[in-house]
Structure 1
């Protein structure tokens, strides 16, 4: 039961927080439970142990759990990001200029709820990644959405959290209903909800028309979760409103559930149906790459720039999966992990800047190299990685996506996917352009007049130029994420050594 304990530890810690059993020690309980769960997960993964017991016999629903090379790295990512997110001060903490007028966390009860939501998100995500039953996957996925909604609507930006919360509920609710209908249709037609059996049969018991119907339903439901253009509009609103820790989890955990679901459900269970809709899915992914990149060139809010860049980066993951070959799936896995680490780093850094500045607007800012050089270097690492520079995490996933699209599976149109690869390469160039824009605005200072007044000691806006303190927890979280960004960039083989054997066994995936 080692794997079951790994999932239960964060849940038990969350219940302890809600019960008021750890007052004033909430962050350390989150960190400690994440470390313990990570150790138990490593033992279960190394030993190849899992769980398979009857849960609801009347519905033929089983509590089937396992860890492999696809789910294991994402589970590790979840626990690491949750632990680091707990080190980031909650909204309304002392010195938070952005929340000075409206403390989002007020009182020990609210503080316990805030940290409990981090743990509940982790527990739900771990259960989703480990699920080997299609219905259990859907149920676990929904359990993640509830604490994320609480983080956005209760602890988010007071001026935007209501609207962002409604968008989050409407879009993800629509995706959940569509996904559930697709899973129920798949289970009804295939006669089983066991994901391993479904993958082994590769939809062989379904007719081509049934495979297409199920693939459309499953892909549409998961596309909202990823999100894929044009179903993406909830994401920038949610990111810009959520607290820093919420944005870190939203990017590093919630979005990964959608792309992971694309691999486990339509790609593995109904590969022939997925192949028929893959060109359309790949095209939408490329539109998202270009759309997100263009918006980032003109967006005035730093946090929204990072949010829109997530739409672009997830477009590369979708394109890689649509290509239908092993290179594409491997690139999707690397892209998922890279985006999770890099986006968490950028949101943590932007959270510090927004807290110190009082807003995230890219105007009239002093050069970060003059005021906070260490913070600036960490931001540069994240922006360089987001631009796809070699030696950093994002490079391998995006390069692999382009290679996979240039030479797609034999049942895909080579010419069409080659055109998508060219357009995606243009999107990658856009990432470099908007990253340079952010470097100029933040590292070098967007307004030279403000920087000059700062150096000369003249009159200027205090909120704009007054140096602010960077808390130790923020610094630890950002430094760790920056180190992981470099590690994934120079040693992607650490991931592929455990992922490739599982990818080679996926049915319907070409070489």
Structure 2
């Protein structure tokens, strides 16, 4: 079932690239939507519950001289990431159901989504790395070919910078994997329980670029601001999660003793990112760059949670990652719609009074903004609260003074996040309307995509239990049970 769930988007994506002149963009997007629905259903059905260590496991010989195997499966950590990725890939395809869509762009979206699904499904280190790399070149084309139509040179520069940073991080990751394989004698993720500290450092650095952690984040704002709408959604909703998932699965879970020595530095980098990105957001005029910088801060909360290496910390990291994927997806769809209509993402050029000019589009953006700043009752609230709780309870890795100091700065970051999103809301949604010839409200396709994300954000905010319940600790109590894979 897992191999089918992976083969459908990857196979159709490659087919659309080959037959890009034989089908219309609308047909390609409809086919892509159907493919992602099929993958979503298969991944939902493959889950057998926490009582099974790996659901839907596939384990066959692959490259025997290297000890690599075609080892796929769903764990209690990967399942939420898989469902989130499949849903975002589906919504991106639905978004592209339009007359002017290129079939090649739909094909690249499917390949990127399928590659991410492969990362979250892989239980072999080499297979993990292959899928990890498979999405890089397609994303370069998405940004460089279909990015900002008003800045061809800028979008190619942003795409190349993205590629250079991520390839460098991947090179460090590969060296770490080879080091582990050589010293431990296995490439099977669930069998490895330690390695040299140097290998762990390389692996963490590789994932730190993807997350991204400060100061390895500089590729992100340009890539987001120049990418097309679906590119920005996949970058924020999926690509950044490859980094956080790697830190959880290959760091805290696979190399616990070694990661414990690195964790204080990861936590510090995460909290520095929370504060620095918030200040950077307050200085932004470009709406897409503001959302991009905000992602660095939210991933800082996730990194802080992972660094505690506690049960509540792992739950916070997974919940925060999924919540961020949905919220940022909504924000980028909304900001992309604004840019498509008005030809700019500059808040000064967009003008004030979107509530009067395009009421439902304004509501979609404001809803995403208040969810991102952590309003109670929405998904972002639980991601941040659980991360703060993980830091408050310290865990076995961070020292109490260090954890509580980082906790204090993280709380300050929440206040700063509220400030810059309120500023953005006041600048473009409120005030006296300044009409623009491009003003038009959401069409049915856009309303469907944003509505699905809004419902998901509300559902996780009102009822976080089904997701948090995967990690066996109560939300409202200070006690929790040990979590084992």
- Bin of the TM-score, shorter chain as denominator length: over 0.9
Deviation digits for residues 91-117 of structure 1, max 9, x if unmatched?
9x77xxxxxxxxxx6xxxxx1110001
**Does the 8 Å contact 1:52/1:65 carry over to 2?**
yes
Q: 2:363 aligns with which of 371, 377, 381?
A: 377
The normalised TM-score by structure 2 is 0.93
**Does the 8 Å contact 2:96/2:106 carry over to 1?**
no
Partner residue in 2 for 1:497: 469
Partner residue in 2 for 1:457: none
Q: 2:33 aligns with which of 19, 31, 51?
A: 31
Secondary structure, aligned partner of 2:70: strand
List alignment gaps of at least 5 residues for structure 1.
95-104, 106-110, 455-463
Secondary structure, aligned partner of 1:66: strand
**In terms of Rg, which structure is larger?**
1
Deviation at 1:278, TM superposition (A): 1.0
Bigger RCO (CA 8 Å, 6+ sep):
1
Partner residue in 1 for 2:125: 134
Determine if the alignment matches structure 1 residue 472 to structure 2 residue 444: yes
Determine if the alignment matches structure 1 residue 143 to structure 2 residue 134: yes
Deviation at 1:89, TM superposition (A): 4.0
Deviation at 1:43, TM superposition (A): 2.5
**Does the 8 Å contact 2:88/2:234 carry over to 1?**
yes
**Does the 8 Å contact 1:89/1:474 carry over to 2?**
no
Q: 1:183 aligns with which of 160, 177, 187?
A: 177
**Does the 8 Å contact 1:175/1:224 carry over to 2?**
yes
Question: After superposition, where does 1:260-271 map in structure 2 within 5 Å?
Answer: 260-271=245-256
Determine if the alignment matches structure 1 residue 119 to structure 2 residue 110: yes
**Does the 8 Å contact 1:61/1:135 carry over to 2?**
yes
Deviation at 1:466, TM superposition (A): 4.6
Deviation at 1:157, TM superposition (A): 1.4
Partner residue in 2 for 1:459: none
Deviation digits for residues 229-267 of structure 1, max 9, x if unmatched?
000000111100110001111111111011001111121
**Does the 8 Å contact 1:117/1:147 carry over to 2?**
yes
Determine if the alignment matches structure 1 residue 417 to structure 2 residue 406: no
Secondary structure, aligned partner of 1:50: strand
Partner residue in 2 for 1:348: 333
Count of residues in correspondence between the two structures? 467
Distance 1:500 1:225 in 2: 28
**Does the 8 Å contact 1:44/1:50 carry over to 2?**
no
**Does the 8 Å contact 1:316/1:424 carry over to 2?**
yes
Distance 1:246 1:368 in 2: 25
Deviation at 1:497, TM superposition (A): 2.3
Distance 2:75 2:254 in 1: 17
Alpha carbons of 1:32 and 1:499: their partners in 2 closer, same or farther (altered >3 Å)? farther
Secondary structure, aligned partner of 1:412: coil
Secondary structure, aligned partner of 1:254: helix
Determine if the alignment matches structure 1 residue 172 to structure 2 residue 157: no
CA RMSD in angstroms comes to 1.9
**Does the 8 Å contact 1:22/1:29 carry over to 2?**
no
Q: 1:481 aligns with which of 447, 453, 469?
A: 453
Determine if the alignment matches structure 1 residue 326 to structure 2 residue 344: no
Partner residue in 1 for 2:380: 394
